[in-house]
Every structure is written in C-alpha cells, then in structure tokens.
Structure 1
Amino acid sequence: MDFTFSQDQLLFQANVKSFFTNEVTPEHLREQWATDSGRSSALWAQLVELGLTSITVPETYGGLGMNELDFVLLAEECGYYALAEPLVQTMLLGVPLLAALDDGHQALKDTWLTRVVEGAARLAVGQPGNPLVADAHVADLLLMPHGDEVHALLPRDIDLTRNESVDPSRRLFRVDWTPSAATCVARGEQARQLWAITADRGALGTSAQLLGLAKRMVDLAVDYSFERKQFGKPVGSFQAVKHLMANVSVLIEFAKCPLYRAAHSLANGSTGQAVHISHAKLACSEAALLAAKNAIQVHGAMGYTWEVDLQLFMKRAWALDKEWGDRGAHKTRVRSALFSGALTPGAGATFAG
C-alpha cells in the first residue's frame, strides 16, 4: 500500500502550515481565553478565504469534494498549532454526516452545506454516550444523537450549560433539548450506520491532531533544551535528554503509517477501516502522551505551568486522548478483530490490502 501523498496534498498542507505559523500563535490562543466565546470570527473568515471550509463539501454544493485522506494532513496541522476553531469538527464530522442524509432532507443539505462553504455556518456534532459537545455555543447547526436517531438542531432549540475543560481553549457544553419529529433527520439502521461512521471520523480527526501535538511538543522541548544550560552546556547536549526525545520520535514515526492507512481506509470504504482507525488512535495517543510526559521532564518539570507554551499543547493532548473513544475502547475493538480471525497478525500483514 502506497502512502505517498500527492504534490497537491503536500502543497495544501504547506500553505496551511505557513498561515497557522503566523496567525495561530500561543499569544493568539491566550488572547482568545479572555473572550466570551473563546473563538475568533476574523480567524474563521481567514480559514474560509483559504478554502478550508470547502474541502470535504461535495462539488454539488460548491465545495471541493475532497475526502478524509485529503484532510488528514490539515487535521495534523490543526493539532500542531492547537487550533481552537471547530474546523476539524465541521469539515470531518459535520459535513459528511449532513451530506450522507437521504434525499428527503435535500433542502436541509442544500441550505447548510452551501452556508458552510460560504463561511456562514459552523457545525457541532454530539458524540453518542458523551453528554458534552465541543463548540456548541458557536455552532449554527448541531447534529445530535438520541437513541437510534440523528437530530438537526438550531441554537433556538437548545439550552447550554458550560463545563470547564483541562484545556482552556476547549469550550464544552451540556446540551439540553427536546427531541421531536421536526428535528429528526435519520432513524433506525440508517442512523446507527451514520453514527458509526461519524465515530470513526471523529477518532481519525482526533488521532491526526494528537500526532500534530506530539510533534509540536517535541519541537518545543528541543528548542528549550538548547536554550537552558547546566554546567556551561545546553541540557540538550546531555545523553539522557536526547533519549527522552528520541523515544518520542520513534513513537511518532510508528504512528504515521497507521494514521495515514486509517485515512486511506476511511476514504475508500475499506472493510477493515474500524480496526485501522482504532490502531491509529492508539498509536497517536501513545505518542502524544509520552511527548507530554517527556517534554515536561526536559522543561525541568515546569512545562505544565501557566506561562510556559508547552502546557497549551500538553493539555490539549490530555483532553483529546479520550475523545471519540478512549484507549480501552479502541484496544477492545482491535482485540475483538484479532481473536475473531478478522485481523491477520504478523508484520507481513500489517499494511496488506
């Protein structure tokens, strides 16, 4: 299986990275903490200008019609810069969920998918079993689970209660609402399938962000290790410190292929996509959590303090580790596939098919 990205995909990633480097800085993130919404309409408008709100929208609605494999590198950059705006949730979860609704809801799709492309709408998606919804306060349309149903809700249909997160940039809310026939857009087997694929997309987007966060924490730790000196030498020159970062770098490299394979499987509807996504989530979570732990040690155990930039990315990694399935849930899915015979063990079969 060839995981080589096209020149267009890599160029798009490079352009996004260049933009984020200048606009999504730690200083910007801290400034947003002090605002009521924690979000920036000006930044969202810039994301629209870059075409990022068109990526996964089908061409029928004015979008670019791209898929999860096209978006995974951009989600990785969203993690690297700890982007607070709900770009991943809107483009990787909300848009595909809306687009997959049947023709009976064509007017809903026409209205909201077009508005997403224009930058006039942000979407929030509830996770079955999780009472908290990220960015529900800025969402123009919420797609919520209720048993074996999918409901589309407007801000007037809901009541929100803020819930604090370990990550100050994350805005989590309990959403109280009353299900009705008017808000229901899918039910039964169709709804179950929609939530299953949405959960996979959520895990993929979270995995990509975790990999980006791991890379950023390594970069911050390496930079700091050359700034701080002991015994007249940068601490980064000491072998013990090098080993801390080398151990994380190994996990990052080992996580890349499972992540990109999972994106490929999801984009192409592979029969093994569920296990591939769980593999990616486990690998990326492991890399991000070790990066947080070792980067704190490199910083002399001060990396978690408020004034150090590392804590921005470390806390995001802690939060995303349990988003769209914790490690226990994903290990269970891999174990079930392994012992049922659906998954062939061995290095030779790791990336087959």
Structure 2
Amino acid sequence: MDFDFSSEQYLLRDTVRDLLRRECTPGAVRAAWASESGRSPERWRKLADLGVVGLTVAEEHGGAGMDEVDLVLILEEAGRSLLPEPLLETTAVGAPLLARSGSDTLRAEWLPRIAAGDATVTVGLAGSPYVADATADLVVLERQGALHAVTQDRLTLQPLRSVDRARRLFSVTAELGDDTLLSTSAAVARWAFDHAAAATAAELVGVAGAMLDMTVAYVKQREQFGRRIGSFQAVQHKLAETLLLVDSARSAVYYAAWALANDTPDASIAASVAKAYASDAERRANAEALQLHGGIGFTWEHDLHLWLKRGKALELQYGDADLHRRRIADWIYATAG
C-alpha cells in the first residue's frame, strides 16, 4: 500500500502554492477585507485556467476528473494563503454534490460553467446560521431535510459581519419549490456535511501551518535579555508541541480525504476525526502564535491577525471540535451495541 501522494499531486500543489504566493499575498487579503465583494475575479480565473476550480468536475464536463485526495493538498494551500474565493464551497462540495445528485439537465447546465471558472456554487447546510459566499451563481440550501439548488433570482440576502472580513457571510431567505429540489436523501445531506467538514479541516491545517512557520521565523530574530527568544527552552517546547498537533492533524485530514474518495465505511467518522483534530491544532497554533509574537501580534499593522481571525472562523465552520467528538461517540456507541 502506498501511503504517499504521487509526484503529479505534489507538482500540482507546488504550482498552486507558487500562484497563491504571487496572487494571494497578505496585501491582497487586506484588499479583500476592504473591497465591496471581497473577491478577485482575476485570481479565480487564474485558478480555473490552472484546472483547480474544475478539479472535481468530470472530464466530460470540462473538468479534470480528480477526487478528494487530489484536492486535499490544494485546500491546505488555500488555507495557508487565506484564499478569499469559495474554492471549498465550489470545488470540494458544490460541484461534486451536483454531479452526485443533480439531474442531467442541472449537471449539463452548471458543471461546464464551474469547470471553466464562469460560475460559482456555495452550500448552506442545516445547523449553520449563515451561508458563506451566498452571492454565488448557484446556492445549495438544506431546508427541512431536503437539499435545494437555488439561483440568485429566488434569493433574498442579508449580509452578516464576520470576524474575518475576507469571508462574506449572509442570512438567506429562498423561494423553494419542486423545481429547486435536489435531493431528499439524508445520506446525501450527510455526504455533503462530511465533505464540507473534511475540506474545512484541510484549510485549518494550512492556516495552522502558516501561523507556526511565521512564529518560528519570528522567534529566531526577536531578542530579549540579550538573546533570541527562540533559544529559550520554554519557547522551543511550545513550538514543538504545536508542530506535533499540526502534523497529526494533517495525517488525519489526509486519511479523511482518502476515506471519502473511496467511500469507506468509516468515511463519515474520518471526516469528524479530521475536523476535531484540525480545530484543536489550529486553536493551539493560534494561541501560541499570538503569545510568542507578544504585543505586535495584536496590532492591525502586523499580518498575523489575518491568520488568527481566519482560523477562529474556520474552527466553528461545519461543526466545532465538540460537535464532531459527539458524532464520533455516537458512532462508537452505535457500533458497540
């Protein structure tokens, strides 16, 4: 059994990392905070031209025909770069959900546009008080146990404020009917939630890894009492323990991606393990990064706060660590009985 990614998967990750280093700098993220839409059509187009947006769309619809394992490294890079655009909602959840449950007409209408970068799709699942990027061309909503695919002409949006202003959140009211119905299957809704949670976990690992790298670089240059603070054993222990959590979370995320791609019996639980572990790892990285940066870490001028706020927002998205631990406990009790 091969436990590593292929050279092609690593090459795609490195290509996306290089693109985001150029196109999604901290300055660009700050610009997203300040802009009306919070989105860059040019950056989205470049991701689409690279094949990233349509990565999970079948080749017959103009996509790459890849799966969750191919995508997980890209989502980690999206988290590392604080990508504002809805890659998670569109590529990790929305497009595969349309392919899985949409009618032939719906798939033919939307999947080629998604793969080409001409349309975005987002999801609003049960239990969430908001829908991220609800200005997308197509919004999949879970209402009263059913999933609906709704276009903008049948939506009323109320903007909500997020601690991370690069995130665009909305309260959504929709005109639903038989013509918007996508699925009434609880299994399909669970599939969507599992994919959303696992994808969020991948982004959390990217956010946590970026904060850890920033903090290691900072303690190597910051001096106190005539010594660089990175030489103090207490500081080293904090960073080593954080690294252990982040690397362990990364392993859990990678397994969840494999389990979802192969539809294993434990795929749903693997997604919850990944989300719980990644939320915990990010929370630890968040706290240690802020403490070890000292007073400068609180300031608007320092870029660290961009990662701190994205991490805090994603900790809660598609279930916090406690919710996912309850899912795991329920599964254990059910299988034991």
Residue of structure 2 equivalent to 1:346: none
Distance in 2 (CA, whole Å) between partners of 1:304 and 1:202 is 30
| 1:84 correspondence with 2:84 | yes
Residue of structure 1 equivalent to 2:161: 164
Residue of structure 1 equivalent to 2:18: 18
Unpaired segments of 5 or more residues in structure 1? 344-353
Q: State the shift of 1:108 in Å.
A: 1.2
Distance in 1 (CA, whole Å) between partners of 2:37 and 2:82 is 17
The question of whether the paired residues in 2 share the 8 Å contact of 1:258 and 1:279 is answered with yes
Q: State the shift of 1:342 in Å.
A: 5.5
Q: State the shift of 1:341 in Å.
A: 3.9
Distance in 2 (CA, whole Å) between partners of 1:132 and 1:263 is 25
| 1:312 correspondence with 2:312 | no
| % same residue | 39
Please give the per-residue CA displacement for 1:291-323, whole angstroms capped at 9, x wherever unaligned: 000011111144233222111111111111111
Please give the per-residue CA displacement for 1:214-260, whole angstroms capped at 9, x wherever unaligned: 10001111122123211232222222211111110011121122111
Distance in 1 (CA, whole Å) between partners of 2:237 and 2:41 is 42
Distance in 1 (CA, whole Å) between partners of 2:129 and 2:212 is 33
| 1:111 correspondence with 2:102 | no
Residue of structure 2 equivalent to 1:41: 41
Residue of structure 2 equivalent to 1:286: 280
The question of whether the paired residues in 2 share the 8 Å contact of 1:131 and 1:175 is answered with no
Residue of structure 2 equivalent to 1:351: none
The DSSP-based 3-state class of the residue aligned with 2:66 is coil
Match of 1:150 among 137, 147, 159: 147
Distance in 2 (CA, whole Å) between partners of 1:342 and 1:280 is 22
Match of 1:182 among 141, 158, 179: 179
| 1:269 correspondence with 2:263 | yes
| 1:130 correspondence with 2:128 | yes
Letter in 2 for 1:98: L
Residue of structure 2 equivalent to 1:173: 170
| 1:213 correspondence with 2:207 | yes
Tell me the number of residue pairs that the alignment of Structure 1 and Structure 2 aligns. Answer: 337
Unpaired segments of 5 or more residues in structure 2? none
The DSSP-based 3-state class of the residue aligned with 1:21 is helix
Normalised by the length of structure 2, the TM-score is 0.96
Q: Which runs of 4+ in 1 moved over 3 A?
A: 339-343
The question of whether the paired residues in 2 share the 8 Å contact of 1:3 and 1:261 is answered with no
The DSSP-based 3-state class of the residue aligned with 2:219 is helix
Give the alignment's Cα RMSD to 1 decimal. 1.5
The question of whether the paired residues in 1 share the 8 Å contact of 2:139 and 2:151 is answered with yes
The question of whether the paired residues in 1 share the 8 Å contact of 2:200 and 2:314 is answered with yes
Residue of structure 2 equivalent to 1:121: 119
Distance in 2 (CA, whole Å) between partners of 1:88 and 1:185 is 20
Distance in 2 (CA, whole Å) between partners of 1:97 and 1:203 is 14
Residue of structure 1 equivalent to 2:294: 300
Query: Which range moves more in the overlay, 331-340 or 31-40?
Result: 331-340
Normalised by the length of structure 1, the TM-score is 0.92
Q: State the shift of 1:337 in Å.
A: 2.6
Query: Which range moves more in the overlay, 159-168 or 299-308?
Result: 299-308
Distance in 2 (CA, whole Å) between partners of 1:202 and 1:255 is 16
Query: Which range moves more in the overlay, 204-213 or 251-260?
Result: 251-260
| 1:203 correspondence with 2:200 | no
The question of whether the paired residues in 2 share the 8 Å contact of 1:296 and 1:304 is answered with yes
Distance in 2 (CA, whole Å) between partners of 1:278 and 1:301 is 35
The DSSP-based 3-state class of the residue aligned with 2:51 is coil
Distance in 1 (CA, whole Å) between partners of 2:216 and 2:312 is 21
Aligned in 2, Cα 1:341/1:301: closer, same or farther, shift over 3 Å?
farther
The question of whether the paired residues in 2 share the 8 Å contact of 1:288 and 1:317 is answered with yes
Letter in 2 for 1:182: D
The question of whether the paired residues in 1 share the 8 Å contact of 2:121 and 2:139 is answered with yes
